[in-house]
Amino acid sequence: MDDADDAISELSAVPGRLTDELTVRHPVPADHARLQVALAGWWGGLGGQAGAPQRQLLVPRLFLQHFAGTSFLVERPDGTLHAFLIGFLSQTDPDTAYIHFAGVCPDGKRGGVGSALYRRFFALAREAGRTRVRCITSPDNRDSIAYHTRMGFRLEPGDRTGDDGVPVHADYDGPGLDRVSFVREL
C-alpha cells in the first residue's frame, strides 16, 4: 500500500523485527501509561479539547490485560513507542475479528507501519478462523476513512450521509459520538 512497504517484514512472528529499526511485540499491562500518552498526543487535536480524554477512556487497561495476543506495539531502537494496534476476536460472532484502536506516531505516518500491523492482524484473525474484520472511526477523521478504504475496507450503510458523502451512524457510541463503520472480508 505504501512505498516503504518493501522494507517491512511480513513475518507473522511476534515478537520480531518489523524493519531494521523497528521491533514488534504484544503489549503488556505496564505499557498502558505510554499508550495513554500516545492517545493524547498522536491525533493532533482531533475532536477538540474532549478528543484526547475520549480516546484515552476508549483504551482502558483491560485491553492490554485480556486481548494482548491480538494486539501489537511497535518500538524504536531507544524503546519509545512508534505504533500500536489493539484488536480482539469477537466472542459473539465466530466469523468476526475487530480492530478497536490503532495509531502511528506523527513522524512515522506514511511509512507502511500501520498497514504492516493491519496485515499481521488479518493473518492472525484468519489463523483463528475469522472471515471478516470490522472497525469504526469518527466521521471527522478523514485520514482514517481514506486509510481504511485503501486497506480494502468498505463503508457500511449508515442512518445519514456526512459532509464528504460518507455513511454516518448517529450517536453510535453514545450521545454525540457519531461513527463510520467498516468491514473487510479476509
**Considering the rule CB under 8 A, would residue 76 count as an interface residue with a copy of itself?**
no
Question: Which DSSP string do the residues of 104-125 spell out, in sequence order?
Answer: E-GGGTTSSHHHHHHHHHHHHH
Closest CB to a copy of itself among residues 17, 154 = 154
Rounded to a whole number of angstroms, the minimum distance from the CB of residue 132 to a copy of itself is 12
Q: Is the peptide bond before 77 cis (omega within 30 degrees of 0)?
A: no
Q: How many residues form the binding site for a copy of itself (CB under 8 A)?
A: 30
**Among the listed residues 18, 31, 70, 81, the single contact to a copy of itself using CB under 8 A:** 70
Closest CB to a copy of itself among residues 16, 53 = 53
For the CA atoms of 123, 65, 30, 98, what is the dihedral angle to 10 degrees?
40
Query: Phi/psi of residue 52, each to 5°?
Result: -65, -50
Instruction: Give first-to-last CA distance, the chain, whole Å.
Output: 17
Rounded to a whole number of angstroms, the minimum distance from the CB of residue 39 to a copy of itself is 8
**Considering the rule CB under 8 A, would residue 89 count as an interface residue with a copy of itself?**
yes
Q: Please, where are the H alpha helices in the chain?
A: 32-41, 51-57, 62-66, 113-127, 142-150
**Considering the rule CB under 8 A, would residue 30 count as an interface residue with a copy of itself?**
no
Nearest CA-CA partner of 123 in 20, 21, 24: 24
**Binding positions for a copy of itself, 109-168, rule CB under 8 A:** none
Which range binds a copy of itself by CB under 8 A, 74-82, 89-97, 111-119, 141-149?
89-97
> Can you give the binding site for a copy of itself, defined by CB under 8 A?
32-33, 36, 54, 56-58, 60-62, 65-70, 88-93, 96, 98, 100, 171-175
